[in-house]
Amino acid sequence: MDGDVAGCWNVVLLGKTGAGKSLSGNTILGRDVFVSMKSCTTVTTDVAVEFSNVSGFPVTVYDTPGLFDIEMCEDVLQMINEKVLQKCASGLCVFLLVIKADRFTEEERKTVEKIEKILGQNRVDKTWILFTRGDELEEENMTIQEFINQSEELKTLVQKYEHRYHLFNNKKKMKKEEEGPSEQVKILFRKILKNYHDTMEMAATKQFRRIVLLGKSGVGKSAAGNTILGQKEFTSVMSMNSVTSECSAAQATVSGRSVSVVDTPGFFHTQMNPEELMIEISRSVYISSPGPHAFLIVFPVNLTFTEHEQQIPQMIELMFGEEVLKYAIILFTHGDLLDGESVEGVIEEREALRHLVDQCGGRYQLFNNRDVNNRQQVEDLLQKIDLMILQNGGEHYSNQMLKDAQRFRRVEEERRSREEVERQRLREQAEREEVERQRLREQAEREEVERLVEVLRRLMEALRRRVPEEERARETCVCS
Ligand SMILES: Nc1nc2c(ncn2[C@@H]2O[C@H](COP(=O)(O)OP(=O)(O)OP(=O)(O)O)[C@@H](O)[C@H]2O)c(=O)[nH]1
Ligand SMILES: [Mg+2]
């Protein structure tokens, strides 16, 4: 499978033979795709690449061949460099240094050294130690911290990695009814994102988050705005008619970020005409000047995705330009009404929904607006926004982009209107030509009738002349 998925997060598994790289890859993906078995030589002999969506993050997992003979592993390291490191040089990457939660031998220490050498300091800073065999620790009733504390080498190693480590139990099979990533995977990704967030990279863009809520009337935009801000700022009520008719903004400090949310009137508004609605929704960009970091496209997770809903992404693209979906995340509301089903299951089942999520780079978040105290859902959303900002090179959607989109739309409308005028002119010309053709047809018919009448008249004339001649001839005949 191709690993070059745009905006994807690259997860690279590295480690000694038998450390559990392939199994860990399977745990992350939530399916058995990488071949894994007990062996004294390396089972994975080439780089294998698989793609998945982990709780709204598009992820490409690279399984690499294990290093087994530390003196003879140069070929493997070169292969990893060419097939993985160079390939994901420009994207978002996290490296997982897979180590068994077992005795940390000299051989293991040398393997880590070799891997660090090929990675270089920049990548080591994005590397996490992934301990495997959590099941064995569980059996011994031991936590990973206790295990690390037993070994001076491991303590030093973990300190060197600034406590970026996590424990997997790869023997823990997911239950059949479970969908999406397992809890241990979700926790790992949360930890990684939190760490990203705290790095220097994020510092420059950390302070402000500007969010615009978009979606049909009644889907829960205003409620989601309140959930994000943790306070009731927007009017959110059950109504047959559209409630919000004007854009409005509210701010709060959420998880250390200064967050501004702009609520907008819904698409297919019951009282506003499409033209004024479009102008009002576009105003959201100016309200969140110099431009929003994220557009949240809101859909209730429990509702059927009708043709109306399917038009919404096109409407958004038309309004804000083609680039807009690079800054968009699908926000599913009504998570409380899922009835035990997972959001991943819902997306998987419905092709149109899957397509929509794909259009937004695989980004989505589930909200239960009835549970405003659930701050984890907001934290998860903000982390996804942070990641999206990183993917967009720290950029936000800008007023200029809106102006470009509006100019493009005006040019398109003018072109369409010119085409319509031309079509109308051609229609009128065709009608005129048809009238002329009809006139000529009628004239030809009239002329034909006149010609026939003339032929008839001449015939009658000839007949009239012939009758007296025949009578005269008969009389001459009788006399003689
Ligand atoms: N059960 C449940 N109800 C929700 C959720 N989110 C919103 N609602 C309800 O849905 C109704 C509409 O929500 P609003 O937030 O007013 O919807 P809106 O998208 O802002 O609607 P307009 O302003 O008309 O465009 C309200 O009664 C909310 O309480 C949710 O996650 N769960
Ligand atoms: Mg509203």
pLDDT digit string, tens, across residues 28-87: 998 888 876 555 455 556 788 998 888 777 889 999 888 766 566 777 888 888 888 887
Question: Which one-letter amino acid corresponds to residue 252?
Answer: A
Decide if pLDDT at 4 tops 60: no
Among the atoms of ligand 1, which is closest to the Cα of residue 335? Answer: 31
Rounded to whole angstroms, what are the CA distances from 345 to 55, 150, 180, 298, 301? 11, 42, 8, 18, 11
pLDDT score for 72: 61
Residue closest by Cα to atom 25 of ligand 1? 217
8 A C-beta contact, residue 179 and residue 52? no
- How many CB atoms lie under 10 A from the CB of residue 3? 19
Give residue 241 CA to ligand 1 midpoint distance, Å: 12
Give residue 264 CA to ligand 1 midpoint distance, Å: 13
User: 54 or 254: whose pLDDT is higher?
Assistant: 254
pLDDT score for 82: 83
Burial of 246 (0-12, 13-18, 19+ CB in 10 A): exposed
Distance CA 438, CA 436 (A): 5
Give residue 333 CA to ligand 1 midpoint distance, Å: 8
pLDDT score for 456: 93
Give residue 36 CA to ligand 1 midpoint distance, Å: 47
Q: Choose the weakest-confidence range: 31-45, 115-129, 279-293, 429-443.
A: 31-45
Decide if pLDDT at 96 tops 80: yes
For ligand 1, is residue 336 a contact (CB within 6 Å)?
Answer: yes
Mean pLDDT (whole number) for 376-397: 90
pLDDT score for 401: 85
For ligand 1, is residue 217 a contact (CB within 6 Å)?
Answer: yes
Rounded to whole angstroms, what are the CA distances from 370 to 104, 223, 336? 48, 8, 7
Task: Give the residue, out of 247, 332, 369, with the most ligand 1 atoms within 8 A of its beta carbon, to mutate for a pocket test.
Answer: 369
Of 100, 95, 114, residue with least CA distance to 38: 100
Residue 290: cis peptide before it, omega within 30 degrees of 0? yes
Distance CA 197, CA 260 (A): 18
pLDDT > 90 in the chain, percent: 48
Give residue 217 CA to ligand 2 midpoint distance, Å: 7
Name the pLDDT band for 399 (thresholds 50, 70, 90).
confident
Name the pLDDT band for 465 (thresholds 50, 70, 90).
confident
Among the atoms of ligand 1, which is closest to the Cα of residue 245? Answer: 23
Q: Which domains does the chain have, with CATH numbers?
A: 9-197 (3.40.50.300), 205-397 (3.40.50.300)
pLDDT > 70 in the chain, percent: 91
pLDDT score for 203: 55
Decide if pLDDT at 436 tops 50: yes
Decide if pLDDT at 370 tops 90: yes
Q: How many helices (H) and strands (E) does the chain have?
A: 15, 12
For ligand 1, is residue 266 a contact (CB within 6 Å)?
Answer: yes
Give residue 220 CA to ligand 2 midpoint distance, Å: 7
Decide if pLDDT at 177 tops 70: no
State in Å, rounded, how far the first CA of the chain is from the last one. 120
Decide if pLDDT at 448 tops 90: yes
Among the atoms of ligand 1, which is closest to the Cα of residue 226? Answer: 15
Whole-prediction pTM: 0.58
Task: Give the residue, out of 214, 216, 217, 222, with the most ligand 1 atoms within 8 A of its beta carbon, to mutate for a pocket test.
Answer: 222
Mean pLDDT (whole number) for 216-230: 95
pLDDT score for 5: 44
Burial of 228 (0-12, 13-18, 19+ CB in 10 A): buried
User: How high is the mean pLDDT of the chain?
Assistant: 87
For ligand 1, is residue 225 a contact (CB within 6 Å)?
Answer: no
Give residue 435 CA to ligand 2 midpoint distance, Å: 56
Give residue 374 CA to ligand 1 midpoint distance, Å: 17
Mean pLDDT (whole number) for 194-220: 78
- How many CB atoms lie under 10 A from the CB of residue 123? 19
| Residues paired with 61 in a beta bridge | 11, 50
Q: Find the ligand nearest to 227 CA.
A: 1
pLDDT digit string, tens, across residues 318-348: 889 988 999 999 999 999 998 888 999 999 8
Residue closest by Cα to atom 30 of ligand 1? 334
Residue with the two structure tokens 């998570």: 335
Mean pLDDT (whole number) for 178-192: 83
Name the pLDDT band for 470 (thresholds 50, 70, 90).
confident
User: 480 or 317: whose pLDDT is higher?
Assistant: 317
For ligand 1, is residue 218 a contact (CB within 6 Å)?
Answer: yes
Distance CA 36, CA 198 (A): 35
For ligand 1, is residue 221 a contact (CB within 6 Å)?
Answer: yes
Name the pLDDT band for 284 (thresholds 50, 70, 90).
very high
Decide if pLDDT at 90 tops 70: no
Of 288, 312, 308, residue with least CA distance to 298: 312
For ligand 1, is residue 333 a contact (CB within 6 Å)?
Answer: yes
Task: Give the residue, out of 219, 226, 235, 245, with the most ligand 1 atoms within 8 A of its beta carbon, to mutate for a pocket test.
Answer: 219
Give residue 304 CA to ligand 1 midpoint distance, Å: 16
Decide if pLDDT at 180 tops 80: no
Structure tokens at 318: 């038309």
Mean pLDDT (whole number) for 278-282: 91
Q: Beta-strand (E) ranges in 367-405?
A: none
For ligand 1, is residue 220 a contact (CB within 6 Å)?
Answer: yes
Burial of 457 (0-12, 13-18, 19+ CB in 10 A): exposed
For ligand 1, is residue 244 a contact (CB within 6 Å)?
Answer: yes
